[in-house]
Structure 1
Amino acid sequence: MYRYRVALIDDHEIVARGFAELFSTIPEIHVAGTVATVTELLETTPHGTRIDLVILDLRLSDGSTVMSNVDRLRARGAAVLAFTGGDDAQLMRAAARAGVLGVVRKSEPAAVLLDAITRAARGETIASTDWAAALDGDPDLADAGLSPREREVLALYAAGAKAPLVASRTALSEATVIDYIRRVRSKYERVGRPANTKIDLYKRALEDGILPVPGRS
C-alpha cells in the first residue's frame, strides 16, 4: 500500500512518461498525475484529495511564474519540489523564496531522483549544491542580524537537535533555548523571510551558511 501521493507538472511528454515509469516500481509512492500545468492538476484533482508532493518544472510554456505556481500548490496543501533541466539561478532563487523543499535536476541519476523525491514526500528539505549556489548569489536575501549565540542555537536546533539537547550542548536552560528560537524566528520574519516551522529554520540556516549543504565541500 502506498504512503505518498506524488504528482509531476512538466510539459514535456517524454519526461512525464519516464517519471511515471520510474516510480511504478516504488510501492510507497503513488503517481497521482502527470500534467502540463498547475491549472490542469488543480482542475483534475477533486477537492479533498490529498497530494503530498508536487514535482514542478520551473519553466513551463503556459507563461506562469514560479511564485504563482508554488503558491497555488501550497494553498492546496501540497509540498513542492522544483525540477529543472537548466542553470537559471534566478528561477532557483524564485523557487526558494516561494517555499519549495529543494531543487533537483532532471539529469540526476535515477537513484538520486528516487531518493530526493521520496525524502521530499516525507517533508524533508532537499539541499543541493545547485540550490546553495543560487542562494549564495541572491541579492534579495536580507540579513536577519542574528547574534553569534543565536546562530549557534539555530545551527543545533535546525540540524535536528531538540531543545533539551541544544540546552545541554550550549550550557543554557531549555527555556532560554526556546526563547532564542523565538527571537530567531522573529528576526527572520522582520526581514521578510518567515521561518514558522523547523523545516523553514533549516532552510534559513542553509541560506545563511549557518549549516553546510550536504555533499558540498
Structure 2
Amino acid sequence: MTNLSDERDDVLAAQPRAVRVGMVDDHQSPVWGIERILERQDDLDLIGSAATVNELLEQTSALDVVILDLRLNDGTTPRENVNRLAELGIVTVVYTSGEHPDLLRSAARAGALGVVLKSASEDEILAAIRAAGSGEEILTVEWAAAIDGDPNLDAVDLSSQLQRVLTLYASGGTSISVGNELGVAPDTVNEYLKRIRQKYADAGRPTRTKLDLFKRAVEDGWLPMPNRGQE
C-alpha cells in the first residue's frame, strides 16, 4: 500500500525548483518594485537584495539570477560585477533606465544575458527573469542597440597587466607612479602604453591623448562611468 507521505514527497521532488533571484541596486524603490512583482510568482523567489554585489554575496551566493543596476555608488563597473557573479555560476540581467549605452556595452562584453528597462511592464520583467533563469539570452531592442552600436565589441583584448596599466594611467597616474605601483621601470610602462595605443588603433579606436585613454577605459568597462560632477 502506498504511503500518502511518500506520494506527496514524490510530487514535490518532481516540481521544478523556483529560480533564486537576487537584486543589486543602491536605491530602495526599484527593489520594492521587484519584490512586489515577484511575491506573486511561484516559480521565482527573491532571495535577497543589497546596494552592492559584495553585500549581496555576503548574504548568500545560492542564486541563479541577479538583477543588476548599472551605476552603483561603490564605484564598481558592470564588467567587474558581471564577472564576479559569473565566477559563482550566477547569470545577470541588467536593470536600468537605459541612459548609459557605454555601460550596457560593458555589461554585454562581460556576458550579461540581457537588459530590461525600469520602465518595462511587469510581464516583460518576468519574462526576462525567467529567460535568464533558463540560461537564455534576453532579446530586447535596447540590448540589440547596445551591441549593434559597438562594432568593435570584442576587438580590443588586453592582458591583465595591460588592463592595470591602462586603469592606473588613465585615472591620472604617470609613468613613474604606475611603474612604482606595478614594480616595473617607467620605460616599461611607456612600452605597455604603446602596446595599448596600438591595440586600440588597430581596432579603429585611436587614443592620441590621455583623455582618449580614459574614454576607452570607461567604454570597455575597465573604469566606472564618472559621476556628472566629475566629468
TM-score by length of 2: 0.58
Whether the aligned pair in 1 keeps the contact of 2:22 and 2:65 (CA below 8 Å) is yes
**d(CA) in 2 for partners of 1:131, 1:92:** 8
Structure 1 runs (4+) deviating above 3 angstroms are: none
Q: Judge conservation of contact 1:16–1:34 (CA < 8 Å) in 2.
A: yes
Task: Supply the RMSD in Å over aligned alpha carbons.
Answer: 1.7
Could you report, residue by residue, the CA deviation over 1:114-164 in whole angstroms, capped at 9, with x for unpaired residues? 111111111110011111111122142358xxxxxxxxxxxxxxxxxxxxx
Alignment equivalent of 1:68, drawn from 60, 77, 80? 80
Instruction: State the partner residue of 1:91.
Output: 103
User: Residue 61 of structure 1: SS of its match in structure 2?
Assistant: coil
1:135 aligned residue (147, 155, 173): 147
Which secondary structure state, in structure 1, belongs to the residue aligned with residue 82 of structure 2?
helix
Q: Distance in 2 between matches of 1:103 and 1:77?
A: 18
CA spacing shift, 1:142–1:64, aligned 2, 3 Å: closer
1:22 to 34, 37, 54: 37
**CA offsets per residue over residues 91-124 of structure 1, 9 Å max, x none?**
1100100000011101001111111111111111
Kept in 1, the 8 Å contact 2:109–2:154? The answer is no
Q: Note the residue ranges of structure 1 that are not aligned, 5 or more in a row.
A: 144-190, 192-217
Q: Assess if the C-alpha contact under 8 Å between 1:101 and 1:124 holds in 2.
A: yes
State the partner residue of 2:55: 40
Tell me the amino acid that sits aligned with residue 34 of structure 1: S
CA–CA distance in structure 1, aligned partners of residues 108 and 21 of structure 2: 20
SS at match of 2:34: helix
In structure 2, what is the Cα distance between the partners aligned to 1:137 and 1:85?
A: 18
Of 44, 51, 63, which residue of structure 2 is paired with 1:51? 63
Task: Identify the residue that residue 133 of structure 2 maps to in structure 1.
Answer: 121
1:65-214 aligned at under 5 Å gives the runs 65-141=77-153
| 1:114 match: secondary structure | helix
CA drift at 1:50: 2.5
* Consecutive unaligned residues in structure 2, runs of 5 or more: 1-14, 156-202, 204-231
8 Å CA contact 1:20–1:34 kept in 2: the answer is no
User: 1: distance between equivalents of 2:143 and 2:127?
Assistant: 17
1:11 aligns with 2:26: yes
Partner amino acid, structure 2, of 1:68: E
1: CA distance, partners of 2:85 / 2:30: 20
Shift in Å at residue 12 of structure 1? 0.9
From the superposition, tell whether residues 114 and 141 of structure 1 become closer, same or farther in structure 2 (CA, over 3 Å): same
Counterpart Cα distance in 2 of 1:76 and 1:42? 10
Partners of 1:23 and 1:59 in 2: CA distance:
23
Output the CA distance in 2 between the equivalents of 1:6 and 1:137: 30
- Corresponding letter in the other structure for 2:22: A
Instruction: Give the count of matched residue pairs.
Output: 141
Q: 1:20-55 CA deviation, whole Å, 9 max, x = no partner?
A: 11100000111111111001011111xxx5211011
